[in-house]
């Protein structure tokens, strides 16, 4: 069963918001600084020397003042006659004495009035202190502005390149730390922890691996929906191994300018090599590890490709014994470039699914440590009521419950607090998340139970391995079928039974709920495609006879190739009508088969639905138990190889 709408998968965490662009008034800073400095320059001569401004006298005024006995001192500068002095009332004056006139006559005149005369050498300069003050006052604004400018630019590193010709500013985009997180902090996910424990061991004893000539893991890709604790697990690996943790968000590499991201990748790995053994963690690797465009394609992203290529060559470049392990996380593995997944790169993948009931309980317990719970709080019940919640949702739930209690001024959390918190998160988080309403959960259980029962009831269909109503990606639930043997040839009975298994989800909805739903859209599309190939390509229609119109390979234009009604159709209009009729007949027959089977085993259907609602994930053997059938065994097909991929066929 799949979701109807296909919203873009939400990112792990909100994409880091770009730093705010520098304010526009920044560009006025320089002119302002210059004006200010000029202003100060002109203002300074007046302030120099301090005290009240001296009176400016003309030479004749000076003479008359001398004669009137109002001058007490005068100091004459040697060559240019600039003079200053003090009146008898204590205030200062300046004047210029014409050099030609500064002869003995003037001196006599001054002496007669008892004026103290000093002669100074020219270029009398203000004291050193005053000079320094001048310079500080003039340069100060410039220094201030420069400091201010740099602060602003740092906030907008990368974006303002070019504004001042600062190209390729290499801001560090990664954080280095030594996390204290341990596996204890990650509740549940024992399988994932076991898988990744190998990395911890390698980081602790890289030389042991080197001596044994073993190649240690280089890259581990963690795949799972947002909030399932991928980042947490990566930090726990670093914490357990007691090594530095260099983390970066994939989108942090990708810049507007080609080459910047690649330079950053180089920096990151240079730093990691310096600190080895170390963990490099690339969060949201899909932001840079998306499929590279085909050569010559329009709209390729040069910068991202260069960054990705650099990452790949860095991963190839370091010696396996260096002690650097690259961990990466993504919630969209399907968009990753296949080159990233090749051996020697992220060759190990750890799937981190949404937590199961037991894991949800463990996570809740973990996040209720240090919170006082009322006696009526049953975390098992809370876990049961929160299918589809991720670890982050559950952490949030525990916190919301505590907030509710705090608002009511209580220090113990009650069951009602948890209920209210859950409802709030349910309402708030449904958009774009996997959280299901109870009625939806029931519909998903009915749908998947239908797939599972019909698969188990038909002898040729692949046996049921697992049924789950835990959402994963776009799928709201899934029925996994494991073929007993790897088949190279499919008989008509197998194909027909596969069709009825595919249609059984919808059949169960019709049987048990009285109406279909949007959840069957994907099933219907797949069944219709299979039925179409049975008729057109495999010659399985008596009405059409032994003809085959093979699927014309990859289409030039998406959606045009081989589709009924397409322009390149190799058969007549009337044949198309015949094919359509036959496809619809096959599908109807398959659906009838499923409906009949489910109607006869109505009791089993209801029991399986209840079991699914209770446990969420049900093992295939439980399905056969409910039906009272023996579970198909491998040895029924002697000498057969077991199917290599567990996810081979899924009833969706």
By the criterion CB under 5 A, which residues form the site for Mg ion?
Answer: 12, 231
Stretch that binds Zn ion, among 180-188, 339-347, 368-376, 499-507 (CB under 5 A): 499-507
**Would you please indicate which residues are annotated as catalytic (active-site) residues?**
448
452 binds, among Zn ion, Mg ion, ligand ADP, none (CB under 5 to 8 A by kind): none
Tell me the per-residue interface mask from 525 to 544 with ligand ADP, x by CB under 6 A, - otherwise. --------------------
The nearest distance, CB 392 to Mg ion, in angstroms, is 9
Of 9, 206, 217, 226, the one binding ligand ADP (CB under 6 A) is: 226
Q: Distances in Å between the alpha carbon of 139 and those of 26, 224, 650?
A: 19, 58, 74
- Asked if 279 and 234 touch (Cβ cutoff 8 Å), the reply is yes
For residue 200, give the nearest of 228, 247, 174, 234 by alpha carbon. 234
The nearest distance, CB 147 to ligand ADP, in angstroms, is 37
Residue with smaller CB distance to Mg ion, 12 or 400: 12
Tell me the per-residue interface mask from 162 to 201 with ligand ADP, x by CB under 6 A, - otherwise. ------------------------xxxx------------
Strand ranges for 237-312 from DSSP E: 245-249, 278-283
Cβ contacts of 271 within 8 Å, gap of 6 or more: 174, 176, 246
Report the alpha-carbon distance of residue 531 to residue 580 in Å, rounded.
10
The nearest distance, CB 231 to Mg ion, in angstroms, is 3
Residue with smaller CB distance to Mg ion, 12 or 305: 12
Contact between 523 and Zn ion by CB under 5 A: the answer reads yes
Length of the chain: 652
Residue with smaller CB distance to ligand ADP, 186 or 508: 186
- Interface of this chain with ligand ADP, residues 232 to 271, rule: CB under 6 A: 232
Residue with smaller CB distance to Zn ion, 310 or 481: 481
Backbone CA torsion sign across 590, 593, 595, 597 = negative
Contact between 463 and Zn ion by CB under 5 A: the answer reads no
Assess whether the previous peptide bond of 277 is cis (omega < 30° from 0): yes
The nearest distance, CB 394 to ligand ADP, in angstroms, is 7
187 binds, among Zn ion, Mg ion, ligand ADP, none (CB under 5 to 8 A by kind): ligand ADP
Residue with smaller CB distance to Mg ion, 231 or 604: 231
Residue with smaller CB distance to ligand ADP, 14 or 639: 14
Residue with smaller CB distance to ligand ADP, 63 or 285: 285
179 binds, among Mg ion, ligand ADP, Zn ion, none (CB under 5 to 8 A by kind): none
Tell me the CB-side half-sphere exposure of residue 652, using CA atoms within 13 A.
21
Residue with smaller CB distance to Mg ion, 14 or 338: 14
The nearest distance, CB 229 to Mg ion, in angstroms, is 8
The nearest distance, CB 515 to ligand ADP, in angstroms, is 36
Residue with smaller CB distance to Mg ion, 220 or 444: 220
Backbone CA torsion sign across 543, 547, 551, 556 = negative
Supply the Cα-derived Rg of the chain in whole angstroms: 41
Report the alpha-carbon distance of residue 369 to residue 461 in Å, rounded.
48
Lookup: tokens for 315:
């991963």
Residue count at the site for ligand ADP (CB under 6 A)?
A: 19
Strand ranges for 225-335 from DSSP E: 245-249, 278-283, 324-330
Contact between 202 and ligand ADP by CB under 6 A: the answer reads no
Stretch that binds ligand ADP, among 193-201, 202-210, 230-238, 529-537 (CB under 6 A): 230-238
Contact between 228 and ligand ADP by CB under 6 A: the answer reads yes
Pairing outcome for strands 324-330 and 219-223: parallel
- Asked if 204 and 157 touch (Cβ cutoff 8 Å), the reply is no
Residues facing residue 351 across a β-bridge? 223
Report the alpha-carbon distance of residue 452 to residue 516 in Å, rounded.
17
- Tell me which residue has tokens 């009398």: 124
Of 57, 181, 218, 230, the one binding ligand ADP (CB under 6 A) is: 230
523 binds, among Mg ion, ligand ADP, Zn ion, none (CB under 5 to 8 A by kind): Zn ion
Tell me the per-residue interface mask from 354 to 383 with ligand ADP, x by CB under 6 A, - otherwise. ---------x--x-----------------
Q: Distances in Å between the alpha carbon of 385 and those of 90, 394, 436?
A: 94, 11, 10
Lookup: tokens for 487:
């088949």
Tell me the per-residue interface mask from 12 to 51 with ligand ADP, x by CB under 6 A, - otherwise. x---------------------------------------
- Asked if 414 and 405 touch (Cβ cutoff 8 Å), the reply is yes
- Tell me which residue has tokens 């974006």: 159
Question: Which residue number has the CB closest to Zn ion?
Answer: 505
366 binds, among Mg ion, ligand ADP, Zn ion, none (CB under 5 to 8 A by kind): ligand ADP
Stretch that binds Zn ion, among 251-259, 383-391, 429-437, 497-505 (CB under 5 A): 497-505
Please report which helix (H) or strand (E) contains residue 294, including its range. none
Cβ contacts of 461 within 8 Å, gap of 6 or more: 454, 455, 481, 494, 497, 498, 501
Backbone CA torsion sign across 326, 332, 335, 338 = positive
Tell me the CB-side half-sphere exposure of residue 618, using CA atoms within 13 A.
28
Chain-centre distance for alpha carbon 652: 28
Contact between 505 and Zn ion by CB under 5 A: the answer reads yes
Stretch that binds Zn ion, among 110-118, 165-173, 304-312, 520-528 (CB under 5 A): 520-528
Of 391, 450, 463, 473, the one binding ligand ADP (CB under 6 A) is: 391
Report the alpha-carbon distance of residue 291 to residue 336 in Å, rounded.
5
Lookup: tokens for 66:
């001398």
By CB under 6 A, name the binding residues for ligand ADP: 12, 186-189, 224, 226-232, 329, 363, 366, 391-392, 395
By CB under 5 A, name the binding residues for Zn ion: 1, 505, 523, 652
């Amino acid at each position: 069963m799949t979701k109807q709408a296909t919203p873009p998968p939400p990112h792990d965490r909100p994409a880091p918001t770009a730093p705010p662009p520098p304010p526009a008034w920044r560009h006025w800073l320089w002119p302002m600084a210059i004006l200010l400095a000029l202003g100060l320059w002109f203002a300074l001569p007046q302030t120099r020397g301090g005290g009240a401004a001296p009176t400016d006298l003309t030479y004749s005024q000076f003479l008359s003042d001398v004669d009137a006995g109002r001058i007490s001192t005068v100091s004459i500068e040697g060559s240019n006659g600039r003079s200053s002095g003090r009146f008898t009332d204590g205030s200062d004056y300046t004047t210029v004495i014409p050099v030609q006139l500064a002869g003995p006559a003037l001196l006599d005149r001054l002496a007669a009035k008892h004026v103290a005369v000093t002669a100074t050498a020219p270029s009398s300069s203000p004291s050193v202190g005053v000079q320094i003050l001048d310079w500080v006052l003039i340069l100060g604004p410039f220094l201030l502005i420069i400091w201010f400018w740099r602060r602003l630019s740092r906030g907008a590193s990368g974006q303002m390149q070019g504004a001042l010709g600062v190209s390729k500013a290499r801001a560090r985009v990664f954080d280095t730390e030594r996390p204290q997180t341990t596996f204890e902090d990650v509740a549940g996910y024992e399988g994932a922890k076991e898988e990744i424990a190998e990395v911890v061991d390698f980081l602790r004893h890289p030389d042991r691996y080197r001596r044994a000539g073993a190649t240690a893991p280089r890259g581990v890709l963690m795949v799972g929906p947002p909030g399932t604790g991928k980042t947490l697990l990566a930090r726990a690996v670093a914490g357990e191994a007691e090594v530095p943790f260099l983390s970066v968000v994939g989108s942090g590499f990708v810049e507007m300018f080609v080459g910047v991201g690649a330079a950053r990748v180089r920096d990151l790995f240079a730093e990691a090599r310096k600190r080895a053994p170390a963990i490099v963690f690339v969060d949201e690797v899909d932001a840079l590890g998306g499929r590279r465009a085909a050569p010559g394609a329009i709209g390729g992203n040069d910068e991202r490709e260069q960054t990705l290529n650099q990452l790949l060559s860095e991963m190839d470049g370091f010696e396996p014994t260096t002690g650097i392990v690259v961990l990466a996380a993504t919630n969209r593995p399907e968009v990753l470039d296949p080159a990233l997944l090749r051996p020697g790169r992220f060759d190990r993948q750890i799937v981190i699914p949404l937590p199961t009931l037991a894991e949800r309980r463990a996570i809740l317990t973990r996040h209720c440590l240090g919170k006082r719970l009322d006696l009526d709080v049953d975390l098992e019940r809370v876990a049961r009521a929160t299918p589809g919640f991720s670890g982050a949702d559950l952490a949030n739930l525990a916190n919301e419950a505590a907030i509710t209690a705090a608002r009511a001024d209580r220090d113990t959390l009650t069951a009602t607090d948890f209920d209210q918190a859950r409802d709030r998160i349910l309402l708030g988080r449904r958009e774009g998340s996997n959280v299901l309403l109870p009625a939806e959960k029931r519909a998903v259980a009915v749908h998947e139970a239908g797939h599972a029962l019909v698969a188990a009831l038909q002898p040729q269909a692949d046996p049921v391995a697992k049924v789950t109503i835990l959402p994963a990606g776009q799928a709201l639930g899934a029925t996994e079928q494991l073929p007993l043997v790897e088949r190279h040839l499919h008989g008509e009975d197998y194909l027909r039974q596969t069709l009825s298994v595919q249609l059984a989800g919808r059949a169960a909805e019709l049987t048990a709920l009285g109406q279909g739903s949007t959840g069957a859209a994907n099933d219907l599309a797949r069944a219709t495609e299979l039925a179409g190939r049975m008729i057109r390509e495999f010659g399985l229609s008596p009405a059409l006879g032994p003809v085959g119109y093979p699927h014309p390979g990859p289409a030039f234009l998406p959606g045009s190739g081989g589709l009924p009604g397409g322009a390149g159709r190799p058969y007549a209009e009337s044949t198309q009508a015949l094919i359509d009729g036959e496809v619809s007949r096959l599908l109807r027959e398959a659906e009838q088969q499923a409906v009949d089977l489910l109607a006869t085993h109505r009791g089993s259907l209801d029991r399986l639905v209840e079991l699914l609602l209770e446990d969420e994930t049900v093992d295939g053997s439980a399905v056969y138990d409910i039906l009272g059938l023996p579970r198909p065994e491998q040895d029924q097909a002697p000498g057969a190889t077991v199917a290599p991929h567990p996810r081979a066929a899924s009833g969706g």
